[in-house]
Structure 1
């Protein structure tokens, strides 16, 4: 597969086992036992994904996630020994793309990462069509999003969410529809992750945030009034 993944985990045995599974699947694996080393590896390498434990020394996982997200939109999958919903929502607010609770199956984790990367590549390889609605422009070939001609930075999930909504302009999309399309049918987390990402996306769209309309007790739709 020739993809580079960084595994950040302070439990040596867990990190080694997880790394072995990724190596067996063709990944080039980088390992870090603390947040400081994780950031050093991130700065020196072009990674495709990060597996990030929250409770790590020197720099905690949340801080590492926040720092990485400021510089890159690579997929970040966070690991935690806790199942607290507030922890998960915090991770998504900081830019995490997936959340896995310990104990977990390394084999399943590898499969989820593969599926996630294929989904992203599928979006990038889509046709050359440029979607342009009321000043929001998506170039599906270059993966670039502009608002009022200014490039904005979106995480992979935010990008997929915006594409899905704009391609279905005027159609009410339930949270379940959005979860299945953007997160995949194998996602079993809280549907509130949709609301969290919508909130972040609206903030990044600035004065164009009004295009994403809330449909009470149902979901959301992308709507353009007086479209030129």
Structure 2
């Protein structure tokens, strides 16, 4: 049974979501003290976190940053705010998805199931190392390393990189990436993929590798071993 930590201060919504998730055999936990979110997160050790943006004490962005500094646990944001910068900010902080309130429960469960399936099924695969552009890519540890150093990627980032590397020198369409990454493109915005790609390349730039992920305007992306300028 997967453990879900639902960081939501609206008690009515919390109990409604908890009841529905419990029907799907998830073990759902809430926060008792919103000034001690990290302590409770550490104690619960959830498999996935669902977090609202507007919370007492500190907002969801703060707690996402704190959680991501110590864990790669998948994080889904909930928000009643409709400003696009909220979604962009959540993705930049390392969240896996963003759900706008009010939401249909089927959308929440679909995104939650897709995230758990992607993260934990993927983690059960044998250790797999890949050499790319002189760097070692460890798909299990989510680490890319070369003589310049090493970087740790989120689950989304390593999955995107894996998809591109496994089809090296071939264009992978945005539609294929979205469908492979989120299982059902109906629940994913095109901007979500753009944010994830940009964040991945920014991290790869630390190892001088970002330039090996090319943007093919109107087509998709391609991993190469011959660098060109990218947008």
CA contact (8 A) 2:107 2:187 kept: no
TM-superposed CA distance for 1:204, in Å, is 1.6
Cα RMSD between the aligned structures? 2.1
Matches within 5 A, 1:187-198: 187-198=186-197
Query: Runs in 1 of length 4+ with deviation above 4 angstroms?
Result: none
- Aligned partner of 1:184 in structure 2 is 183
| Structure 2 residue runs without a partner (length 5+) | none
- The alpha-carbon distance between structure 1 residues 186 and 202, as it changes in their structure 2 partners (threshold 3 A), is closer
CA contact (8 A) 2:136 2:144 kept: yes
TM-score normalised per structure 2: 0.87
- The alpha-carbon distance between structure 1 residues 106 and 190, as it changes in their structure 2 partners (threshold 3 A), is closer
Q: 1:160, 1:135 → 2: CA distance?
A: 19
- Aligned partner of 1:147 in structure 2 is 145
User: Is the aligned partner of 1:225 residue 2:222?
Assistant: no
TM-score normalised per structure 1: 0.88
Q: 2:3, 2:136 → 1: CA distance?
A: 30
TM-superposed CA distance for 1:151, in Å, is 4.4
Matches within 5 A, 1:79-228: 79-106=78-105, 108-140=107-139, 142-148=140-146, 150-205=149-204, 206=206, 207-225=208-226
- Aligned partner of 1:78 in structure 2 is 77
TM-superposed CA distance for 1:76, in Å, is 0.6
TM-superposed CA distance for 1:107, in Å, is 5.0
TM-superposed CA distance for 1:211, in Å, is 1.3
- The alpha-carbon distance between structure 1 residues 177 and 35, as it changes in their structure 2 partners (threshold 3 A), is farther
TM-superposed CA distance for 1:27, in Å, is 2.1
TM-superposed CA distance for 1:93, in Å, is 1.1
| Structure 1 residue runs without a partner (length 5+) | none
Matches within 5 A, 1:55-70: 55-70=54-69
TM-superposed CA distance for 1:127, in Å, is 4.7
Aligned length: 224
Q: 1:35, 1:164 → 2: CA distance?
A: 38
CA contact (8 A) 2:111 2:182 kept: no
Q: 1:130, 1:102 → 2: CA distance?
A: 40
